[in-house]
Amino acid sequence: CVELKYKHPVILEKPPHIEDLPAPLKAGSCIRFNGYVRPECTRFAVNLLCGKTKESDIAVHINPRISQRHVVRNTRIQGKWGDEETTSIAKFDLHRNKKFAIDIVVTESEFLVSINGKHVCAFVFRLPISKITTLMVDGEVDVEDVQYTKLEIYPHIGPQNAPYVVPTGDGQNKDTVQQLDVPVTATLPKGFQKNWQLEICGRVKILPSAFYINLQKGSQLWPHPIIPLHLNPRFNTLAFVRNAWLGGKWGKEECSPAFPFGPGETFNVAIRKNDDHFSVWVDGKLAGEFKFRGPVDQIDSLYIHGDVGVKTLYMREHIDDKYFSKSQENLKPMPL
């Protein structure tokens, strides 16, 4: 009788892709790589290392998890992992048997990450970027190519992320059947002129934390745009905050005594540009005013982000006081 010995099959792990960075990272540096997600992939990692081995400190660990459909970010220092970050502002867009493109962009204070041309998340530096020397991609993915470039603006605007163009007119042909994905990046093709009114119809999510509306110059995330008006309803403190980003920093916050938003409720926000201030109306009631703190003539973009859905946007031209008063008295929330 011959004893038969069976051996378990040996599964060889795919070795990680490791390469040295060609130059030190600085604000505007972009690492762009294209790859392919293998059929057996459950997760993979993109690491920027402070050294040349797998045991080196990891300045940023970007870890897409295919099964869980989210992207984890973290840092490892002296063998210890920090707190994970998982919140993203775009839908998970990585799939098995599909190609992908990931950009990692360096700013003055954080990494910005896009997947397939769409901004996904940011990660604030936890280690000095001057220590980063090596790129490592680990997991069941194939890296097709890696490019090191210099960006002047982020994100790059292409067909897949072109800003929405806000309709402008006298209201006669106002479109009421839009439904926009949040975050909303939109352009104001004629700017925002005196006595014009920007109208935003939406609904607050059921369990909101906050959302914000920016009137700004430029639709980019980096360099940080000038923001003459920032509206920020905060549900944890019931504060309706107003502010501006000018000269590279936020100014002093202003807050309304009343809070006009509720969880799950629809709303109509109307922002009117006056001689020296913006007035903000919510569902027909004045919710606050905000004095100009700097130039406002270059406003050309709108950005909305947070726990809210947006149904319609409209820029109404040439609103006189008589029309404005009457329209606000009669304004009621639109059903979504």
Work out the pLDDT band at 180, boundaries 50, 70, 90: very high
In the predicted model, is pLDDT for residue 202 greater than 50? Answer: yes
Residue where the block lists tokens 């800003």: 163
The dotted CATH code for 17-150 is: 2.60.120.200
Q: What pLDDT shows up at residue 98?
A: 97
**102-160 residue pLDDT tens:** 999 999 999 999 999 989 999 999 999 999 999 999 999 999 999 999 999 999 877 77
**294-336 residue pLDDT tens:** 999 999 999 999 999 999 999 999 775 554 555 545 444 444 4
User: Rounded mean pLDDT of 191-199?
Assistant: 97
83 versus 170: the higher-pLDDT residue is 83
Q: What pLDDT shows up at residue 321?
A: 58
**Mean model confidence pLDDT for the chain:** 90
pTM (2 decimals)? 0.84
Among candidate residues 294, 152, 304, 311, the one with its CA nearest the CA of residue 222: 152
Question: Would you say the CATH fold of 163-330 matches that of 17-150?
Answer: yes
Which range among 69-78, 139-148, 174-183, 232-241 shows the weakest confidence by mean pLDDT?
174-183
User: Rounded mean pLDDT of 259-282?
Assistant: 98
Residue where the block lists tokens 């006056």: 274
DSSP assignments along 301-321, one per residue:
EEEEEESEEEEEEEEE----H
Q: What pLDDT shows up at residue 186?
A: 97
Which range among 3-7, 131-135, 160-164, 172-176 shows the weakest confidence by mean pLDDT?
3-7
3-state secondary structure of 331: coil
% of the chain with per-residue pLDDT over 90: 82
**b/e string for 317-330 if b means 16 or more Cβ within 10 A?**
eebeeeebeebbee
User: Rounded mean pLDDT of 77-84?
Assistant: 98
Q: What pLDDT shows up at residue 170?
A: 82
177 versus 181: the higher-pLDDT residue is 181
Sequence-ordered list of residues with C-beta below 8 angstroms from that of 203, at least 6 positions apart, any chain: 264, 265, 266, 267, 308, 309, 311, 336
Q: What pLDDT shows up at residue 319?
A: 76
Q: What pLDDT shows up at residue 174?
A: 65
Element (H, E) at 327: helix 321-330
**216-242 residue pLDDT tens:** 999 999 999 999 999 999 999 999 999
| Measured distance CA(26)–CA(23) in Å, rounded | 9
How far is CA 289 from each of CA 59, 191, 228, 285, 316, rounded to the nearest angstrom?
A: 43, 20, 13, 12, 19
What residues does each domain of the chain span? 17-150, 163-330
**23-51 residue pLDDT tens:** 999 999 999 999 999 999 999 999 999 99
Q: What class is the 163-330 domain?
A: mainly beta
